[in-house]
């Protein structure tokens, strides 16, 4: 309990604490007495904000000096002193190419001891300079600047909760539905169907599993939120006129493998949209990972860098959106809207002509690459292309734009563009995309070392040029960013038909589930469109975790008093922090803040950076720089050599790469695993949904490609389930993952197993129709009420969910349909393939054979590719169709009294057919012709069930003795 009468800090919500000289409450601003505790004041001053948040009055100089003194002497273990630890400031030059000095000690270790003294001295001088500058400003000008300073100190974002009028009924219905489910299962278990006991048992088991899946999916959506950003406040705080831009640098990662499957034109458009982003050019660096070592990708980037000299200034001059030329010139809209410059039309026509010529050059490169020479490719200087063997080649790095001196046609600087192809050698495990991303982390750390990283797939371009600013509203807000590991944007797609037959847009996931997770510990990482905190990728814990104290005396120096009753809680916090959380070799550098410089340097050397990050002193040095950047004295040629070293295929051996730091290995869905590991360490993520979608990509829209995409996702989930990182048992030691968040991650790994009960439940209607049995006994009044209540609660839950999320009924229905389609096909194969791969070491691939498509805007929608994944849903469809025919035939034979029981069975079967209807349309392939393979399968399965039909013989009444005698005569009894 808080002590009465003690003011509460308006920033952190804690008690103000007492001043050093007397027993009065601490006061930060003597002008307006705005309540800010000493700890928060220290942090504000360290960030360069030396004015009151309410009245914008500069803080007193003497108070600043005493505050800085308190930071060093009185509070060496304060948790808010996030800027003072071993990975914040380093004086080691990255041009040192040797790992040790003459005495045999690590270079970076010998220089750690002085970092704290220099840090404090620098901050103190900056504070004095700011105060002195403010003192000489005339009072009139101070009055004018106060509103600007106050506006700059405002939060850069805010949370918009779902209105209570929408969320409260939603929660009530969820609880009511849970109660109804319990009563329903009590009835189902206590009322077995004796005449069809096996069918009853299977149905009850399936229904219990569906209820369990619903709980995992539903309760993480308990507290959905929305967020709003303020880009004008971001500019007012970090882009002030007459001052250097203070926006944080960002490194963009673009990954590609095979230019024949991932067209260079698509990758080039992604790169061009990045180079033209609305962000200071000196703060942007684009790294393209070519994991196939293709000369085509290399040459297409060379052409792209040349075209960027014209495209980038055109976009910025006329505020073009989107800034990917292919999608800008092909979109259907009034391009003259909001354009006021008379030269726009003329320059747009010229730019479109330039782009068409650029496409011709790119297509010529693609045509040339169709036939590889016998001796391999050669470069312009006549030397062989190093990547002629994609599985055995050295590491390659080429800087196209940036410090090479290339400017745009108007003479302005361009962002850096770097081509990277990591080394590949036989006998090494390269870990596909995750390994390529980790190589980019190390390369970028050596060359630019931006504190934030944004990764994009090669087919996802920047659709909103201000997307990076949207993310910075969270990552650069001191009150928000302390424990934020990444900002996730929703995925949006182009080229999908309006009806979205196969739920490619995933609207329910991105607009419902992710909003719910944002209200807990943050959305899951979905693989693209994510801005990372680089320090989180290095395995560090967030700065707001409890600090370990050496003794109780150090705690007594805190700026606010604690009651003795709290000592037990702090002891428990200490024990939790000391647990071997997550079985990780990663350490929290903030845990050693309480030691003096000598003890700190010794402890750091014992932690062995090399065993964690690898044998590169330059890269290790970059990990200690929380704010990023490279020294001005760095030699570019030396950095390039070091960058080549860190992308060697053997660099990660005996290190923590892929285990505890970087993108995590062990699953084809490395995105889910990577985000899960971060949040287990205590980080949280943020979901950002700007009005204009930040990024857009392309999605497979035909049935076969869509199912194989879902198969890959489901296979990754099964791999995580069978690994040590399974959310069911991983990460309990630290207690940093919230329970609802754990439910959400559990749902992401167990959903493929729903395919087994789902297939059984989809076949049950046909079995009931063919056998005349049913899974439910004769309903009583109470049972009828339970069934009616269950159906109503399901409907009301869905309606209220649509209300607060804003999605349409068609999107929700498409999601329900594809949940069944994917469940009985791709998810089933993923379960078997996952067990074969993880337990037996057998890697099974389901190949796809393409057929010709019709011409048209959505020609790919009718493209049919036969694959074994299509067999289970095809079988289920035919079984239910045969069952419906059998059921009606049996009812016609038995008379009027048989139509009542038939209604429930047929309704059950129609539910299955209605959910599989998009699959049936996709199975037809072209609009007016059915593929031969489907006809053959249909005939085969129809023949099998015809034999079953003859065995059942529904036209013969079991109660008619004459019919039985005649049947016996026919069979020669």
φ, ψ at 438 (rounded to 5°): -65, -35
Beta bridge partners of 137: none
Q: Cα 623 to the chain's mean position, in Å?
A: 23
Residue 457 in marked binding region:
yes
Contacts 24+ apart (CB under 8 A), 575-579: 576/546, 576/733, 576/734, 576/735, 577/545, 577/546, 577/548, 577/734, 578/548, 579/733, 579/734
Secondary structure (3-state) at 741: helix
Tell me if 520 sits within 8 A of 223, measured CB to CB.
Answer: yes
- DSSP letters, 316-377, are HHHT-SS--HHHHHHS-S-TTTT---TTHHHHHHHHHHHHHHHHHHHHHHHHHTTS--TT--
First to last CA, the chain: 90
Tell me if 281 sits within 8 A of 246, measured CB to CB.
Answer: no
Half-sphere exposure in the Cβ direction for 142 (13 Å, CA): 13
Q: Are strands 250-256 and 460-462 parallel, antiparallel or unpaired?
A: unpaired
- DSSP letters, 254-296, are EEE--TTTS-HHHHHHHHHHHHT-SS-GGGEEEEEEETT--HH
Q: What is the 3-state secondary structure (H, E, C) of 527-544?
A: CCCEEEEHHHHCCCCCCC
Residue 261 in marked binding region:
yes
CB atoms within 10 A of CB 733: 14
Secondary structure (3-state) at 657: strand
Q: How buried is residue 578: exposed, middle or buried, by Cβ count under 10 Å (0-12/13-18/19+)?
A: exposed
* Alpha-carbon gap, residue 27 to 49, rounded angstroms: 17
φ, ψ at 559 (rounded to 5°): -75, -15
* Alpha-carbon gap, residue 190 to 219, rounded angstroms: 28
Residue 854 in marked binding region:
no
Contacts 24+ apart (CB under 8 A), 600-607: 600/86, 600/112, 600/113, 601/109, 601/112, 601/113, 604/86, 604/109, 604/112, 605/105, 605/106, 605/109
Closest CA to 509 of 487, 497, 492, 521: 492
Whether the ω angle into residue 58 lies within 30 degrees of 0, i.e. cis, is: no
Q: What is the 3-state secondary structure (H, E, C) of 913-933?
A: HHHCHHHHHHHCCECCECCHH
Contacts 24+ apart (CB under 8 A), 851-859: 851/925, 851/931, 853/702, 854/926, 854/927, 858/495, 858/497, 858/701
Residue environment code for 542-565, b if the CB has 16+ CB neighbours within 10 A, otherwise e: bbebbbbbeeeeebeebbbeeeee
Beta bridge partners of 424: 393
- For the four alpha carbons of 585, 590, 594 and 600, in that order, the dihedral sign comes to positive
Residue 262 in marked binding region:
yes
Secondary structure (3-state) at 31: coil
Just list the catalytic residues. Answer: 291, 671
Q: What is the 3-state secondary structure (H, E, C) of 570-616?
A: HHHHHHHHHCCHHHCCCCCHHHHCCCCHHHHHHHHHHHCHHHHHCCC
Residue 433 in marked binding region:
yes
CB atoms within 10 A of CB 660: 18
Distant-in-sequence, close-in-space partners of 52: CB < 8 Å, separation ≥ 6? 28, 29, 31, 32, 34, 58, 59
Binding residues for UDP-alpha-D-glucose: 255, 261-262, 291, 432
Binding residues: 255, 261-262, 291, 432-433, 457
Binding residues for Mn(2+): 433, 457
């Amino acid at each position: 309990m808080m002590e009465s009468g003690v003011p509460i800090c308006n920033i952190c919500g804690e008690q103000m604490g007492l001043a050093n000289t007397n027993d009065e409450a601490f006061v930060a601003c003597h002008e307006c007495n705005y309540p800010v505790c000493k700890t928060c004041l220290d942090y504000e001053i360290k960030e360069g904000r030396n004015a009151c948040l309410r009245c914008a009055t500069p803080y007193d100089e003497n108070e600043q000096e005493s505050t800085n003194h308190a930071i060093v002497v009185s509070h060496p273990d304060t948790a808010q002193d996030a800027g003072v630890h071993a990975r914040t400031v380093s004086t080691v030059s990255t041009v040192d190419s040797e790992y040790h000095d003459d005495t045999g000690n690590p270079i970076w270790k010998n220089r750690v001891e002085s970092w704290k003294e220099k840090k404090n001295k620098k901050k103190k001088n900056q504070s004095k300079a700011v105060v002195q500058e403010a003192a000489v400003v005339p009072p009139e000008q101070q009055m004018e600047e106060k509103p600007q300073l106050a506006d700059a100190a405002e939060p850069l974002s805010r949370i918009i909760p779902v209105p209570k009028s929408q969320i409260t009924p939603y929660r009530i219905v969820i609880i009511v539905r849970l109660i109804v489910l319990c009563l329903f299962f009590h009835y189902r278990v206590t009322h077995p169907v004796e005449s069809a006991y096996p069918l009853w048992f299977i149905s009850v088991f399936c229904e219990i599993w569906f209820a369990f899946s619903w709980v995992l999916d539903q309760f993480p959506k308990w507290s959905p939120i929305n967020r709003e950003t303020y880009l004008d406040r971001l500019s007012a705080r970090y882009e002030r006129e007459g001052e250097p831009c203070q926006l944080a640098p960002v490194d963009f990662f673009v990954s590609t493998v095979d230019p024949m499957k991932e067209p260079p034109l698509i990758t080039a458009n992604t790169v061009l949209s990045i180079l033209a982003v609305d962000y200071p050019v000196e703060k942007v660096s684009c790294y393209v990972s070519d994991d196939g070592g293709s000369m085509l990708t290399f040459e297409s980037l060379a052409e792209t860098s040349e075209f960027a000299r014209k495209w980038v200034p055109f976009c910025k001059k006329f505020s073009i959106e989107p800034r990917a030329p292919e999608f800008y010139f092909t979109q259907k809209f009034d391009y003259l809207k909001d354009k006021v410059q008379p030269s726009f039309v003329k320059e747009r026509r010229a730019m479109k002509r330039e782009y068409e010529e650029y496409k011709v050059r790119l297509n010529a490169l693609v045509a040339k690459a169709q036939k590889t020479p016998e001796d391999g490719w050669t470069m312009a200087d006549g030397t062989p292309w190093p990547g002629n063997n994609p599985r055995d080649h050295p590491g390659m790095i080429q800087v196209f734009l940036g410090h090479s001196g290339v400017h745009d046609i108007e003479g302005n600087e361009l962002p850096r563009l770097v081509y990277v192809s990591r080394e590949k050698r036989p006998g090494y495990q390269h870990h596909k995309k995750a390994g390529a991303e980790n190589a980019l982390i190390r390369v970028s750390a050596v060359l630019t070392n931006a504190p934030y990283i944004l990764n994009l797939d090669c087919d996802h371009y920047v659709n909103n040029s201000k997307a990076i600013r949207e993310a910075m509203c969270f990552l650069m807000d001191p009150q928000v960013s302390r424990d934020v590991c990444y900002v996730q944007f929703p995925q949006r797609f182009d080229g999908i038909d309006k009806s979205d037959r196969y739920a490619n847009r995933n609207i329910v996931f991105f607009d419902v589930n992710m909003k719910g997770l944002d209200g807990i510990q943050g959305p899951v990482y979905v693989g693209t469109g994510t801005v990372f905190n680089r320090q989180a990728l290095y395995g560090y814990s967030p700065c707001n975790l409890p600090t370990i104290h050496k003794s109780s005396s150090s705690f007594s120096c805190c700026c606010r008093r604690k009651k003795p009753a709290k000592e037990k809680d702090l002891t428990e916090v200490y024990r939790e922090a000391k647990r071997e959380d997550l079985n990780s070799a990663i350490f929290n550098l903030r845990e050693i803040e309480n030691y003096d410089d000598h003890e700190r340097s010794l402890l750091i050397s014992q932690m062995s950076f090399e065993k964690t990050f690898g044998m590169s002193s330059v890269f290790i040095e970059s990990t200690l720089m929380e704010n990023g950047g490279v020294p001005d004295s760095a030699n570019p040629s030396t950095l390039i050599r070091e960058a080549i070293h860190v992308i060697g295929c053997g660099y990660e051996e005996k290190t923590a790469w892929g285990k505890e730091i970087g993108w995590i290995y062990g699953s084809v869905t490395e995105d889910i695993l990577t985000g899960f590991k971060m949040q287990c360490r205590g980080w949280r993520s943020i979901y950002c949904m700007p009005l204009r979608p930040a990024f857009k990509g392309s999605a497979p829209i035909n049935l076969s490609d869509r199912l194989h995409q879902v198969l890959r996702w489901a296979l990754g989930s099964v791999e995580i389930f069978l690994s040590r990182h399974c959310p069911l048992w991983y990460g309990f030691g630290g207690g940093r993952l919230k329970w609802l968040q754990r439910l959400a991650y559990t749902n992401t790994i167990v959903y493929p197993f729903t395919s087994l009960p789902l297939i059984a439940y989809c076949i049950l209607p046909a079995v009931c129709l063919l056998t005349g049995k049913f899974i439910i006994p004769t309903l009583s009044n109470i049972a009828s009420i339970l069934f009616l209540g269950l159906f109503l609660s399901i409907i009301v839950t869905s309606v209220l969910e649509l209300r607060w999320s804003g999605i349409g009924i068609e999107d929700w229905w498409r999601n329900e349909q594809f949940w069944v389609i994917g469940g009985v096909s791709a998810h089933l194969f993923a379960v078997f393939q996952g067990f074969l791969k993880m337990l037996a070491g057998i890697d099974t691939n389901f190949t796809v054979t393409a057929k010709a498509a019709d011409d048209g805007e959505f020609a790919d929608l009718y493209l049919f590719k036969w694959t074994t994944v299509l067999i289970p849903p095809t079988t289920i469809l035919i079984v239910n169709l045969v069952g419906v025919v059998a059921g009606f035939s049996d009812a016609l034979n038995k008379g009027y009294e048989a139509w009542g029981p038939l209604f429930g069975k047929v309704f059950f079967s129609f539910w299955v057919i209605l959910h599989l209807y998009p699959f049936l349309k996709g199975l037809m392939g072209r609009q007016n012709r059915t593929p031969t393979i489907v006809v053959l399968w249909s005939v085969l399965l129809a023949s099998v069930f015809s034999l079953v039909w003859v065995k059942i013989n529904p036209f013969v009444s079991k109660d008619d003795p004459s019919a039985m005698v005649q049947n016996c005569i026919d069979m020669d009894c």
